[in-house]
Structure 1
Amino acid sequence: IATIALDALKGLVPLVVAKYYFGLGDSVLWTMAVLAVIGHCFSPYLLFNGGKGIATGAGVMIFFLPLEVMLALIAWFVVGKVLKISSLASLGALVVFIASSFIIHPQIEVINTHAPVLIICFIIVYKHWGNILRLITGKEKKVI
């Protein structure tokens, strides 16, 4: 739980500080969000390895699209509780997040594109590729 919370805060806190302390604009904040997820997933301190980006991605997205993140968290919890496969819960939450972001915010104000959202989601899918292959072949392990 601490790892998930700290990874989410790693994405959220710099955005809050950048916006409310330094007054940076939305384009810079969106760039910071994408770079936070890239830095988490491909950390030079871990030989360009790192996490899968779900918690950090949620942390940055809660800053911009909180309702969509809440819907994704509900999906994550339900899928995880019912199917007991962590990666499937994360990917299910990602699908709900993407779909709800297009439904609730067809045009993301100021930047007028979903590109940062899609880049972050692409990185998360890429980092889950091994899990996706195991899901397809039925070899992905359940969480007890």
Structure 2
Amino acid sequence: MSIVFCVFAFLSGSIPWGYIIGRAKGIDLRKAGSGNIGATNVMRVIGKKEALVTLLLDMLKGFVPVFIMRLLPYGENLILFTTVGILAIIGHCFTPFLKFKGGKGVATSLGVILASMPLAGMITILLWIITVKISRISSLGALVSFSLLPLTVYFLSYQEEFLIFSFLITVLIYSRHISNIKRLFSGKEPKIGEKNKIIEESDEKGSYTS
């Protein structure tokens, strides 16, 4: 049963909602804007309403498996619990439906955190909103808020397993934002509302860049 649920979590995370919404509008997001299938590029290429829908659906991909897990008898097994969350995020980042090239994992990670550590999740979202409001750079909001996630979990006195869980999520998020970090340091990271002139594709990471 636990294996079945792990597979369910991975497949849930794998659904490329941004790509599906783009296709419904006749657009392949991998070839438009930044080339990313996440909410930021959906807003850049299609519109705010579609971006909001993408954001919520991507969050639900992580939230639903973990939330259901909490309701089951073996939901108290923290190793299995955290594995389900990580698999949902990995499913988003390496979706088999797009040749294992997915998104950055931010929205799905937020859904996982909200389901597993609600208060920490709300604080992380608030930090993301504040950072983006000030900088107008979505990737910077993700990097700042997730870098503070382990500290948030620590000060909220969650169990040690959750602290390790938060570190794993943070490492995964940073590993998916290497190209963004390089552009941030070079001053070339696009702000929300700006159009990308060039689509860069990272074959080594198997993801689209921003």
TM-score (norm 2): 0.62
CA distance in 2, matches of 1:58, 1:32: 14
CA distance in 1, matches of 2:186, 2:112: 32
The aligned residue for residue 54 of structure 2 is: 3
The aligned residue for residue 189 of structure 2 is: 140
Structure 2 unaligned regions, length at least 5: 1-51, 194-210
1:15 pairs with one of 52, 66, 69: 66
CA distance in 2, matches of 1:69, 1:87: 17
How do residues 116-135 of structure 1 correspond to structure 2 at under 5 angstroms?
A: 116-135=165-184
Higher helix share: 1
Answering whether residue 115 of structure 2 is matched by residue 63 of structure 1, we say: yes
- Residue-by-residue CA offset, 1:113-141 (whole Å, 9 max, x unaligned): 62222122111111111100000111101
TM-score (norm 1): 0.88
Give the RMSD, CA atoms, in angstroms.
1.6
What percentage of aligned pairs have identical amino acids? 35
Q: How far is 1:81 from its partner? A: 1.0
Contact 1:71 1:96 survives alignment (8 Å): no
Answering whether residue 134 of structure 2 is matched by residue 82 of structure 1, we say: yes
How do residues 32-111 of structure 1 correspond to structure 2 at under 5 angstroms?
A: 32-105=84-157, 108=159, 111=161
The aligned residue for residue 19 of structure 2 is: none
Structure ID, larger Rg: 2
The one-letter amino acid paired with 2:104 is K
Q: Which runs of 4+ in 1 moved over 3 A?
A: none
Q: How far is 1:94 from its partner? A: 0.9
Structure 1 unaligned regions, length at least 5: none
